[in-house]
Structure 1
Amino acid sequence: MNLMKCNLMLGALLSTVFGGLLMLQLASWTAPTHLKPPSPRIFSKKFEWQAQTPHLLDLAYLQSYSFLINHPDKCEGPRAAPFLLMLVMTKPQDVGIRQVIRQTWGNETLVPGVVIHRLFVVGLPQPLFAQELQTLLDEEDREHGDLLQVGFLDTYHNLTLKVLTALEWMAQYCPTAHYVLKVDTDVFLNPSYLVQKILWPNRSRQLDFITGHILSSTNPERRQGHKWYMPPELYSHDKYPDYCAGPGYVMSGSLALRILTVAQRFKAIHVEDVFVGLCLKELGVKPTPAPPNTFLIFGRKYDHCAFHRLVLVHHFQPQELLQIWPDFLTSNGACPSV
């Protein structure tokens, strides 16, 4: 095992251990929803209201959340107008996981001849350990220059706001991106297949385009306490519109901009992928089916040839990525034609 791989595995392990300790601490102490993290450098009175975690029925996309760590020049210079902008949703404490992604599927140079930009989108740390985590985030960004921190608490219920604010960044600082990928950290991603077989860089740009694992006619979860609980007061219909599953979906830059134009017409329901589906329905846009079994949301055991013929596999942990990535990068010439 080479030194780089050892360092990556150590980083992932430390991230997991630190995250576990953080969760144990948080489990024993519940902060009031109005309490803001106590970092004096960025959490001034100006941001106090933004650090709240609103009730499910009060979520709103206000188009006024601040970027506390920002790279406004990311899409300028010789690598302007990226073909693909990767927006990776990640937690503040996932330092090691982000490093694994940088060295595997998040490598911006992985697809020759195609400009890819990557940003890890994070919110504010929880009040406990906020100053320590913020210091780590600042140091990490100074080294890598790829964090985008938004001005509200990083919680699951704020995920819709997190995605919309990341798209707002794209609208402000990278509006000429051809395609935008929203992706979580617990996945295997094959950028080459995504670019060459789904997005086709040598063809005309697809405009009202979004694809992933499409879910149709799903029922809202009405059991209180469930992760995806949907109060009838927030969404009263019996079925959701068609939408692409949250672990990873890709859309045209033009459609991302259109989604922002209608996002304020709805409560920013916390089930982020469903919310995007509501925006698509409002726009009269249906998701485009991807080649069958290329976006897998239920996991799959690694197979060299099979993984070269798909885009994404959910429930893939960083330790697994480190184990399979060197093999995945070897030639697939012996595999059936992709």
Structure 2
Amino acid sequence: TRHPLQPPYPHPYRFLLNEPHKCRDRTPFLVLLVVTEPGDTVGRNVIRQTWGNESSVPGVSILRLFLVGVHPVFGPALRSVLEEESLLHHDIIQQDFFDTYNNLTLKTLMGMEWVSKHCPNASYVMKADRDVFLNLGYLVRRFLTKPKKNFMTGYVYRNTGPLRSKAYKWYVPREIYPNNTYPPYCGGPGYVLSADLAPKIYGVAQILPVINMEDSFVGICLHALGVGVTGSPWGVFNMYRIEYEKCRFSRLVMVHHFQPQELLKIWPHFQEAKVMCHR
């Protein structure tokens, strides 16, 4: 029997919104998968205008997709809103699982499934949360210059284990994951992988017991595949907020805990960094 916190998987989830032809006429260098909640129309619009803009890195083909599930309460009410947004922007994919914190793993697996089935020739995939500042130009220039295989990087956690107290949002009971430590994994707010890993992660997830910690589970999948994570230079992927400073941010890939409204304020100023700050 499945523990209530354990995401139901494998399961024949259906795509309610899909963009299966996105890669028919193009081969993106980077597929950007952004995790958002169904009702977060405003957040998605800000991301489209800022770091999620597909033209943000000159000469680099970026494909942006937002990953959503079904709102546990307002699913039917949000249906037409999401359909309208989808018709306008063609960048939302949705499956019929409930959009809850414990189902975040299902969102990432939906993204991996989509890349596997609809965009297998992409070079890289980046998964990002909606509450981050992202500098894709620096990511591409600094880390993705050569084609790579079996590659994943981000903020790497090593020798960490499940939190066993129910007081935590990140509670994982022994029935779901019995081991005391997780294999090394990249922190969930933002990590990047070579696209060849997407079908491998999606495939191995069909036979592993899924856990409710999305980033840890991706690490478990890599461990099962015999693939290691690649460490990144200290401070390039920031799990904690640091205050905005134009030239400092020009040498970072990600900073966590930036809300969309803050991004709107700093993004025009940050664009000057390309000219002003020494690379």
CA distance, structure 2, for counterparts of residue 136 and residue 249 of structure 1: 29
Name which of 105, 116, 124 aligns with 2:51: 105
CA distance, structure 2, for counterparts of residue 333 and residue 164 of structure 1: 38
Corresponding residue SS for 2:154 = strand
CA distance, structure 1, for counterparts of residue 75 and residue 109 of structure 2: 24
Distance 1:293 1:331, change over 3 A: closer
How far does residue 60 in structure 1 lie from its aligned partner after superposition? 3.8
Percent of aligned pairs sharing the same letter: 49
What does residue 322 of structure 1 align with? 264
What does residue 181 of structure 1 align with? 126
CA RMSD of aligned residues (A): 1.5
What does residue 115 of structure 1 align with? 61
| Residue identity in the other structure for 1:178 | S
What does residue 41 of structure 2 align with? 95
8 Å CA contact 1:63, 1:168 repeated in 2: no
Corresponding residue SS for 1:265 = coil
CA distance, structure 1, for counterparts of residue 225 and residue 80 of structure 2: 41
TM alignment of 1:198-277, pairs within 5 A: 198-200=143-145, 203=146, 205-277=147-219
8 Å CA contact 1:89, 1:184 repeated in 2: yes
CA distance, structure 2, for counterparts of residue 239 and residue 62 of structure 1: 24
CA distance, structure 2, for counterparts of residue 195 and residue 207 of structure 1: 16
Per mean C-alpha deviation after superposition, the further-off stretch among 295-304 and 229-238 is 229-238
Name which of 70, 74, 78 aligns with 1:133: 78
Q: Stretches of 4+ moved more than 6 A in 1?
A: none
CA distance, structure 2, for counterparts of residue 287 and residue 238 of structure 1: 19
| Residue identity in the other structure for 2:238 | L
Q: Structure 1, residues 78-124: CA drift from partner, whole Å, max 9, x if none? A: xx111000111100010000000000000001111111000001111
Q: How many residues align?
A: 278
Corresponding residue SS for 1:251 = strand
Q: Is residue 2:10 matched to residue 1:69?
A: no
Q: Is residue 2:35 matched to residue 1:86?
A: no
TM alignment of 1:150-189, pairs within 5 A: 150-189=95-134
What does residue 224 of structure 2 align with? 282
Normalised to the residue count of structure 1, the TM-score between the two structures is 0.79
Corresponding residue SS for 2:206 = helix
What does residue 40 of structure 1 align with? none
8 Å CA contact 1:218, 1:239 repeated in 2: yes
CA distance, structure 2, for counterparts of residue 216 and residue 282 of structure 1: 16
CA distance, structure 1, for counterparts of residue 232 and residue 176 of structure 2: 30
8 Å CA contact 1:60, 1:267 repeated in 2: no
Q: Which of 1 and 2 has greater Rg?
A: 1
CA distance, structure 2, for counterparts of residue 262 and residue 228 of structure 1: 23
What does residue 5 of structure 2 align with? 56
What does residue 70 of structure 2 align with? 124
8 Å CA contact 1:125, 1:134 repeated in 2: no
CA distance, structure 2, for counterparts of residue 115 and residue 189 of structure 1: 16
Structure (1 or 2) with the greater helix fraction: 1
Normalised to the residue count of structure 2, the TM-score between the two structures is 0.96
| Residue identity in the other structure for 1:186 | D
How far does residue 302 in structure 1 lie from its aligned partner after superposition? 0.2
8 Å CA contact 2:246, 2:273 repeated in 1: no
How far does residue 190 in structure 1 lie from its aligned partner after superposition? 0.3
8 Å CA contact 2:247, 2:273 repeated in 1: no
| Residue identity in the other structure for 1:99 | N
CA distance, structure 2, for counterparts of residue 184 and residue 243 of structure 1: 16
Q: Structure 1, residues 276-335: CA drift from partner, whole Å, max 9, x if none? A: 000111111111112221100111100000000000000001111011001000144442
Name which of 90, 93, 96 aligns with 1:145: 90
CA distance, structure 2, for counterparts of residue 331 and residue 155 of structure 1: 37
Q: Is residue 2:258 matched to residue 1:310?
A: no
Unaligned runs of 5+ in 2: none
| Residue identity in the other structure for 1:257 | P
| Residue identity in the other structure for 1:122 | V
